[in-house]
């Protein structure tokens, strides 16, 4: 057998240039790169014992404070509650508020660096771990090894974090464990180094051992698993998509599917004139998923690996799409393969759209190109933060929402973090973006970019029934 594994998320990021963001919902533009308050957690990694692997995984970050040594540092933090609630994705936030996350206080110290695991949440789809590091440097944990009941396991991982102040760094690591269908297990999580990002473009490793022993229990309440006697399947040209399972949990909606693609040169040549190139690009792209009311679900990340055996005529990619949790089970989901237009290896730049922010003349609508538009509905100046509220209309609402920011009158962007972009509950495609405190008398500009809508491969669109169980 000849197995080929390719990091499709890395390819995706290289194609996007500066368009990609870590948690799954944003288009980063050049002017905001310097203003974001967090760096990505290195590169997403995949670790599989005994085999090379292809992984796409997007994690979101967060942390909770429990170490007594950090009390003095916390005096300068206005509000710091649950890690997942502070900077987690919508699934982690909801689960934490429901009391589903397990609070832990496991601390390890080496090389003068103290790391504390504060929260754990496992729903059978992803294992999310909140942590804090007591440091005056920009440190990130790395080089982890995972043991489940004493056995080393393969995993895919993702994560990112956020400095709370000059003494604390918070983060969340999210793992998808391979071949671990256990409801209860003991997890040993070990990091063999930290990476110091304090020196621009010259990250340095700090060797050490930070080892944690964590009891893990899988969530039992609120989990629904849908399998199919006849899996929903769509075929077009040399591409086949087959949905195998849908899992609904309080933290995530997960769709597991297979992608089959012909690898024979004869088929490729015959189909070239029928849009094969478009379908081949689909391998590095993702899906839009809608509920039965037509609302787009927020994508939290994709994971997957591909295999081609010697003599096989098809390449198989097994994928898992992770989406925001659903408040109630829909009758069906609609899944659409999409391709975002881009040219690899070129620098096309962006088209910027801006307008002066006059709070007395809101709402203010700005075009976002062919994708749609954004309407600023309110701005709230608080002592500790500034909240910009807006709604988006268009073909790619979460990507559109991630490409709205504020600048001063000279065009300098105000610092922001994508983890502070929050969807307003009960109001579709309405968001609140947090910025630092801004003088309400200061002249402001709101800025966005022109976005091309995704191309939809309608021939591979699938309706997934969920009302049969």
- Domain ranges in the chain are 68-217, 224-340+455-465, 352-451
Name the nearest CA neighbour of 443 among 417, 410, 394, 419: 410
State residue 81's pLDDT score.
53
For residues 376 and 176, give the distance between their C-alpha atoms in angstroms, rounded to a whole number. Answer: 38
Whole-model pTM: value is: 0.77
State residue 463's pLDDT score.
97
Fold classification of 224-340+455-465 is Immunoglobulin-like (2.60.40)
Q: Which residue has the tokens 């949905």?
A: 243
Q: Select from 1.10.3470, 3.40.50, 2.60.40, 2.60.120 the CATH code of 352-451.
A: 2.60.40
What is the per-residue DSSP string for 362-418?
--EEEEBTBTEEEEEEEEEE-SS-EEEEEEEEES-HHHHHTTEEEEETTSPBPPB-G
Residue 320 CB contacts under 8 Å (≥ 6 apart), including other chains: 125, 176, 254, 255, 256, 257, 302, 303, 304
For residues 136 and 133, give the distance between their C-alpha atoms in angstroms, rounded to a whole number. Answer: 9
The answer to whether residues 415 and 409 touch, using CB atoms and an 8 Å cutoff, is: no
CB atoms within 10 A of CB 147: 16
Q: Which residue has the tokens 């049969």?
A: 468
Q: Which residue has the tokens 């308050």?
A: 37
State residue 156's pLDDT score.
86
Judged by DSSP in three states, 312 sits in: coil
CB atoms within 10 A of CB 335: 24
Superfamily of domain 68-217: bacillus anthracis domain (2.60.40.1630)
| Pairing, β 239-248 against β 462-465 | unpaired
* Alpha helices, DSSP H, located in 98-200: none
State residue 167's pLDDT score.
84
Cα 57 to the center of its chain, rounded Å: 8
Profile the chain (469 residues) by mean pLDDT over runs of 10 residues: 36 33 32 35 39 33 36 39 76 89 93 94 94 86 95 87 81 86 92 84 89 95 94 94 96 95 59 46 70 94 78 86 92 93 53 94 96 97 95 96 95 85 89 95 96 92 85
Q: What is the CA radius of gyration of the chain?
A: 22
Cα 25 to the center of its chain, rounded Å: 7
State residue 387's pLDDT score.
96
């Amino acid at each position: 057998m000849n197995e080929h594994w390719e990091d499709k998320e890395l390819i995706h990021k290289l194609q996007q240039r500066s368009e990609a963001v870590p948690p799954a919902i944003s288009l980063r533009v050049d002017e905001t790169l310097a203003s974001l308050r967090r760096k990505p957690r290195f590169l997403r990694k995949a670790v599989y014992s005994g085999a090379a692997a292809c992984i796409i995984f997007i994690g979101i970050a967060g942390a909770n404070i429990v170490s007594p040594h950090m009390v003095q540092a916390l005096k300068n933090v206005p509000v710091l509650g649950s890690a997942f609630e502070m900077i987690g994705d919508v699934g982690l936030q909801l689960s934490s508020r429901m009391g589903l996350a397990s609070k832990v206080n496991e601390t390890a110290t080496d090389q003068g660096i103290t790391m504390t695991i504060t929260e754990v949440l496992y729903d059978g789809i992803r294992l999310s771990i909140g942590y804090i590091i007591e440091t005056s440097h920009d440190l990130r944990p790395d080089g982890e090894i995972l043991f489940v009941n004493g056995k080393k396991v393969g995993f895919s991982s993702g994560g990112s974090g956020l400095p709370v102040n000059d003494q604390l760094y918070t983060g969340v690591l999210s793992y998808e464990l391979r071949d671990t269908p256990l409801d209860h297990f003991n997890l040993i999580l070990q990091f063999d180094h930290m990476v110091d990002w304090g020196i621009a473009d010259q990250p340095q490793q700090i060797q050490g051992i930070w080892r944690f022993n964590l009891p893990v229990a899988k969530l039992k309440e609120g989990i629904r698993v849908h399998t199919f006697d006849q899996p929903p399947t769509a075929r077009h040209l040399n591409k086949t998509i087959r949905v195998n399972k849908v899992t609904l949990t309080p933290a995530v909606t997960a769709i597991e599917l297979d992608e089959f693609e012909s690898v024979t040169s004869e088929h490729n040549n015959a189909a070239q004139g029928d849009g094969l190139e478009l379908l081949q690009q689909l391998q590095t792209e993702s899906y839009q998923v809608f509920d039965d009311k037509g609302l787009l679900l927020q994508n939290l990340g994709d994971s997957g690996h591909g295999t081609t055996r010697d003599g096989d005529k098809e390449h198989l990619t097994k994928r898992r799409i992770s989406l925001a949790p659903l408040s109630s089970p829909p009758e069906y989901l609609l899944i659409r393969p999409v391709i975002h237009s881009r040219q690899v290896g070129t620098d096309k730049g962006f088209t910027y759209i801006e307008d002066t922010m006059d709070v007395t003349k809101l709402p203010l609508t700005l075009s976002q190109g062919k994708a749609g538009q954004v309407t600023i509905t309110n701005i709230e100046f608080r002592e500790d933060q500034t909240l910009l509220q807006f709604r988006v209309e268009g073909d790619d609402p979460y990507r559109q929402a991630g490409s709205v920011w504020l600048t001063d009158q000279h065009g300098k962007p105000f610092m922001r973090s994508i983890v502070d972009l929050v969807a307003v509950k009960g109001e579709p495609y309405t968001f609140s973006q947090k910025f630092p405190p801004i003088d309400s008398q200061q002249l402001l500009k709101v800025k966005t970019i022109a976005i091309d809508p995704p191309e939809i491969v309608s021939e591979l669109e699938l309706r997934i029934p969920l009302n049969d169980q």
